[in-house]
């Protein structure tokens, strides 16, 4: 055994080398988490550990001797999150993270473990790429907090691009299709179709609207809350998805009379009365609305159209009018310009198609003479 003031290395019967050093405070020996193929590697590990201690970067291995499962649930309980977000994170932990990685101690969780877990999850038929990205992003965030808590020295989540959601392209309804769906759906839900398609409201935002949020004289709708429905049926009213989600949206003039008709037929007279209610005046349940939605869209609109796709329809139509990025962000309630730019790019692509079609009109008359000559 080679002894030093800081630690010691020794060769094991297997031929591999073991390194250990004294705890800076308790003076008890701490053995390296793995053995080394050469004495030089063991010496190098000891030297790096001593440098970390001298610089204040050393993490006590005992602090990370807690399972990922235990730490992640503790992390979740200490966060101020929206109820639906808590449900999402619990589901990701329960179904996709803990079954594979949960029993591993934080200080034993390696990039190799994370890479193998992510690869297996990505190759499975379920849950799909969007959920895989969300699960990875949650794991990375939990581990980043563990680094800040000085439980581990570095984050083992190092996969480039693994946290990016690559959602499939969603269909966009035409103006005519929006009208067809509006005519087909139950009358009490028609205004929800209009507010999604022409004002880009989310479902939760529409379900939380009260009469006082709609100003028919000015033609605006105020969005400052959202309705969430938890798995056990509890209905919660809270702020929109982001701070940017609090906004006032102008209603297109042709839609205002239809919204007024809805208020007269289905909404109570008081400012606090919900705009959208069920047959008995109760808050609309998502399941009830989705049932009506599926019936209305069974033979109308693009195949597989979802209610949220109408929000994208509204954004695309607004972009087609020439709305700027900031104007689209304000109308959609987006904190980031990325989504707004996506709708503008879609409009630019359509403009290129129009330009090509215009050139196609030249062909029939271009019989050897230039357009200028004709």
CB-CB contact of 365 with 371 (8 Å): yes
Instruction: Verify whether residue 334 is a known catalytic residue.
Output: yes
CB-CB contact of 7 with 21 (8 Å): yes
Q: How far apart are CA 139 and CA 239, in angstroms?
A: 26
Q: Which of 10, 295, 308, 345 is catalytic?
A: 308
Instruction: Verify whether residue 96 is a known catalytic residue.
Output: no
Q: Which of 140, 247, 300, 311 is catalytic?
A: 311
Q: Which of 320, 314, 354, 353 is nearest to 334 (CA)?
A: 314
Residue 202: Cβ within 10 Å count:
21
Residue 136: Cβ within 10 Å count:
24
Token pair 């009260």 is found at 210
CB-CB contact of 182 with 193 (8 Å): yes
DSSP of 52-121: HHHHT----GGGG-SBHHHHHHHHHHTS---HHHHHHHHHHIIIIIHHHHTTSBGGG--HHHHHHHHHHH
Instruction: Verify whether residue 343 is a known catalytic residue.
Output: yes
CB-CB contact of 339 with 225 (8 Å): no
Positive or negative: CA dihedral 35, 117, 67, 164: positive
Instruction: Verify whether residue 25 is a known catalytic residue.
Output: no
Instruction: Verify whether residue 254 is a known catalytic residue.
Output: no
Token pair 């028919």 is found at 216
Token pair 């639906």 is found at 84
Q: Which of 202, 247, 312, 331 is catalytic?
A: 202
CB-CB contact of 209 with 221 (8 Å): yes
Q: Which residues carry out catalysis?
A: 202, 308, 311, 334, 343
């Amino acid at each position: 055994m080679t002894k030093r003031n800081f630690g010691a290395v020794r060769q094991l019967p297997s031929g591999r080398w073991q390194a250990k050093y004294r705890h800076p405070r308790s003076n008890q020996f701490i053995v390296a988490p793995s053995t080394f193929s050469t004495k030089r590697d063991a010496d190098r590990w000891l030297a790096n550990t001593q440098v970390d201690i001298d610089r204040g970067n050393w993490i006590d291995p005992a602090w990370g001797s807690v399972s990922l499962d235990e730490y992640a649930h503790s992390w979740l309980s200490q966060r101020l999150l929206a109820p639906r977000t808590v449900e999402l994170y619990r589901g990701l932990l329960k179904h996709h993270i803990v079954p594979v990685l949960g029993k591993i101690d934080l200080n034993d969780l390696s990039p190799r473990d994370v890479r193998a877990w992510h690869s297996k999850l990505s190759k499975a038929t379920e849950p799909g790429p969007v959920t895989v990205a969300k699960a990875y992003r949650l794991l990375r965030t939990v581990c980043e907090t563990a680094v800040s808590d000085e439980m581990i020295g570095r984050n083992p989540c190092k996969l480039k691009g693994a946290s990016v959601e690559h959602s499939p392209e969603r269909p966009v309804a035409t103006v005519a299709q929006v009208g067809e769906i509006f005519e087909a759906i139950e009358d009490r839900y028609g205004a929800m179709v209009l507010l999604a398609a022409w004002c880009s409201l989310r479902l939760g935002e529409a379900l939380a609207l009260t009469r006082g949020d709609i100003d028919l004289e000015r033609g605006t709708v105020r969005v400052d809350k959202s309705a969430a429905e938890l798995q056990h049926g509890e209905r919660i009213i809270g702020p929109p998805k982001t701070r940017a989600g609090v906004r006032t949206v102008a209603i297109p003039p042709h839609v205002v009379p239809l919204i007024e008709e809805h208020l007269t037929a289905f909404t109570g007279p008081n400012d606090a009365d919900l705009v959208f209610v069920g047959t008995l005046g109760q808050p609309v349940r998502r399941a009830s609305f989705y049932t009506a939605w599926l019936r209305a869209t069974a033979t109308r609109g693009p195949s597989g159209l979802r209610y949220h796709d109408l929000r994208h329809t509204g954004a695309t139509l607004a972009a087609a009018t020439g709305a700027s990025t900031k104007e689209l962000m304000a109308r959609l309630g987006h904190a980031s310009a990325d989504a707004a730019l996506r709708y503008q790019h879609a409009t630019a692509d359509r403009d290129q198609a129009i330009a090509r079609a215009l050139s196609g009109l030249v062909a029939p008359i271009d019989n050897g003479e230039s357009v200028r000559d004709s």
